[in-house]
Structure formats: structure tokens, C-alpha cells
Chain A
């Protein structure tokens, strides 16, 4: 298992797999199979995949610990960047296909519509994370500050769920499902932090998190 996880081929396969949702959209587009309202279809698909990648990225750390597979960390940055990739597609769909570059209308939406305001904020918060995802930036910021900054992903995930919840008209099952996943992941983080604080000194807790800086390079 370890050798599979550490193989560079695995990383390549995961990379390609992460592009499958986009490939499917393109394929359906070429076959005129994006429903009667293709703009809405693409908006929803890219939004869904953003939330999925956020949840998968956030699940990496708990899975590493629960499954005793520390090597999973190799995929975290890539998965997080794919969340950013799909939110960029989502955002581009909105400004290009939906709003058709009418900036005044877009700005009105960001100001007036709370679901767009929170979605837009969540998107903005991901930008510094994507920019500082390189080993160079981890060095420059230092592990502690870098980790602080990257906790913003929880804020984005929560904002993403609220964005979805406020958008749907009445059937809130899907947004609630994502909300539940994010809540579990957040609770796990807080739980381990509390246990760590009670059981160990602060330094030990930091050490447990330390592999992030060494393994993402």
C-alpha cells in the first residue's frame, strides 16, 4: 500500500482522475447533452465539484491519521488546487456565460445577494491559499504562519455550503449533506486539537502537524 501511495504514477493517475469531471462536461457539451439550460448545468456541475474537492482535501489529514497512511499528504496540495481550479471554472462560468461580462450587474449581485456575497468571499479566500501552496511559500512564511493561513480553507468550505444552502429553493438535502461533511471534518479537527492540548504540551501538538512542511515540497 505504501509503495502505491508513494509511487509517482499514483500521483499522475489522481491528477488525471481529478480532470474527469471537466472532461465529462466537455464531452457532454460536444454532444449537446448539457440540458435545455447549459449555462445553469455547467454552473451547478462546477460548483458541486468545488465543494467535493474542498471536502476531499479537508478529509486528507483525518484519513492519514485514522488509516495510518501518512503518505496521503502527497495528494493534499494537488486536491486543494483542484478545488481552486473548479471554483475558477465556476466563477468564469458566472462572469462569462451567465453575466456575459456585464460588470455593473455582477457588482450589484455581489452587493445585494447574500448567496453570491458569501460565495464570492469564499472564492477570494482561496486565492492566497493557491498562491502560497508552493514549498517556497511554506519556507518564506514559516510552517506555523503558513498553517494558520491555510486554515482559511475551513472558512471557504463553510461559506461554500452556505452559498449552496441559500441558493436552493426548497430541497435542502444536498447542501445539508455537504454541510454535515464539513461539520464532521471541522469537529474532528477541533476534537484532536482539544485532546492534543490536554494530553501533550503545545510543542508536541505542533510536532504532530509538522510533516506538512517537509512532505509538500
Chain B
């Protein structure tokens, strides 16, 4: 099962493709736009999250993703592009200088974390593959292998997991192609080896373990949109304290920070998760109550 780890060469490359154990990433520069809010301790980020392919309880991913094989890994870019191609993980690691970006990350379930992600703007990939004039949207797909993810079939959502952005959203410099966090490569449960991080949208838009990127004319059908006829969230899913989830308020959130506990006061949720200056113009003229 774990024989691949013994293959020469795999563990020597910077991203340590085995994926089982995160390895240190070198040469990472600090992005100037990082938030100065206290970082969430790494133990909380690695033991409390949603990754339905590995189970629907918050601690399931950390238990069940341990042996997830993330090497070899390729990300295929296709659809309305002049230069469709496949990227190996080695290539992805070298397309642009790696930056550490400390973002707020707001889950749709009204909790939030502050994470030092590592990666570079997704626009890097977009420019390389040259979208055709027809391309208006980008669909993202998470790897799905029922043998490695036997609990995925019980999650109640359609897999593989699909997410999407409008092309101009995907081109926004904040949209991060992420290969690491907390100075290291991504742990399996947090979306190894490569994922998206869209800090102004609810966490489920930040798709994990990315294998396919498809440029499209039409708006892609995303997993949560398809689920139960849109009873959860729509395509945009921007963080918005004024538009409630059908079953709970989004006005405030529980920040899972250092030392947070039972009696920590909630904090007010910010429009676009506090990234309005950078992204509000994308939605000028749109009714965000309808396009939630």
C-alpha cells in the first residue's frame, strides 16, 4: 500500500509527493496583503474541517485521509482555451514564486479560521492556457476515487465535487492556487496536493485536491447548487452577513483562533469576508440577495 513512498526520487522533490506527511516549503516570500489577525493553530485547521469524500463529521478527514495517495498527480486544464494541457505537481510548484498569504477563511456553517496559505494567484494558470473569447466561467473538480474515499458514497452529495467561478472572479489576484499552509505542503485532509482558496467566498467554494480545470461558455453546475434544488447555496456564495443561510444567520461567526473556547464572543461577519476593497467591483450592479 505504501510502497510508493520507497520509490527513489519521490520524496526528494520539494513537494514530497507522498502527501502523507507534509514537508517544509523553502523560498516562500511573505505577501504584503496578509491579515495581521492571530493565526488559527494548525491543530485546529487539520482536525476540524469538511472534506465529505472522507466523511461528513468534522474530525473524519483527519482520520480517513491519512493514506490518501497524492502522487503522481496531474491537473488537467481543458475546455475553452487555446492551449489545453496537463500540469504535473512538479510543474505546478514552479510556475510562479510561492507566497505566504494569511487569509480569513469563513465557513458557510458560521465558523471561521485564519490560515497562512502558500501558493500564487490562479491567474498565473489562466494566462498560460490562454482562454478563448468564449470562455466566461471556470469549473473546478476534486479528485474522486471511491476506493480511496469509501465514505464519499454516503455523503449525500454528488461526487466528484465540482465548483466554479466566473472568469473575472478567477482572474482576481486574491484567488489563490494553493499548495501549502503553515510553511509546509498541504496535509491530505486539507486538500493535498493542490487546492483553491477563494477568501471572499464561503469555504466550500475553495475546492480541494484539484484535478481538473475547465474553461466554459456557460455557468457550471456546482455540487451544492445541484444538491436538493439549491436549498443550500447558489453559484456565487460570497460571504455576506446580510443574506442568511436558509437555516441559520450569517451575521456573525465563531472565530476558531488561538485559545478560543466555550465563552469566546462571536465576531461580526464582514461583507466579502473583509475583502470588499479588492472584489466588490466584480459584483457592481448585481443583486446579491438574489445571487447569493
Do chains A and B stick together as partners? yes
Interface majority SS on A: helix, strand, loop or mixed? helix
Contacts of B54 in A (CB 8 A): none
Q: Does B35 contact A (CB under 8 A)?
A: no
Residue B247 contacts which of A29, A42, A115, A172 (CB distance < 8 angstroms)?
A: A115
Contacts of A42 in B (CB 8 A): 262
Whether the pair B266, A37 counts as a contact (CB closer than 8 A) is no
Give bound CA distance, A42 to B228, whole Å: 28
Interface bin, chain A: 20 to 34
Q: Which one, A13-21, A105-113, A145-153, is touching chain B?
A: A105-113
B120 to chain A, nearest CB (A): 28
Give bound CA distance, A115 to B45, whole Å: 28
Give bound CA distance, A109 to B52, whole Å: 27
Residue A109 contacts which of B45, B154, B155, B249 (CB distance < 8 angstroms)?
A: B249
Interface majority SS on B: helix, strand, loop or mixed? loop
A54 to chain B, nearest CB (A): 22
Segment 6-28 of B: residues with Cβ below 8 Å from A: none
Q: Does B172 contact A (CB under 8 A)?
A: no
Contacts of B44 in A (CB 8 A): 36
Whether the pair A37, B156 counts as a contact (CB closer than 8 A) is no
Whether the pair B47, A35 counts as a contact (CB closer than 8 A) is yes
A171-B56 contact in complex given A36-B48, A36-B256, C-beta closer than 8 Å: yes
Most interface-central of A39, A100, A167 (chain B CB within 10 A):
A39
Residue A166 contacts which of B56, B156, B247, B261 (CB distance < 8 angstroms)?
A: B247
Contacts of B59 in A (CB 8 A): 35
Binary CB contact string for chain A from 77 to 117 against chain B (1 if under 8 A, 0 otherwise): 00000000000000000000100100001001100111100
Give bound CA distance, A40 to B47, whole Å: 14
A171-B156 contact in complex given A37-B254, A113-B247, C-beta closer than 8 Å: yes
Q: Does B157 contact A (CB under 8 A)?
A: yes
Interface contacts beyond A36-B43, A37-B256, A170-B156: sample of 18 additional A-B pairs, CB < 8 Å, sorted by A: A35-B59, A36-B44, A36-B47, A36-B256, A37-B111, A37-B254, A105-B251, A109-B248, A115-B247, A166-B247, A167-B247, A169-B56, A170-B52, A170-B56, A170-B157, A170-B227, A171-B155, A171-B156
Interface residues of A (CB under 8 A from B): 29, 34-40, 42, 97, 100, 105, 108-109, 112-115, 166-167, 169-173
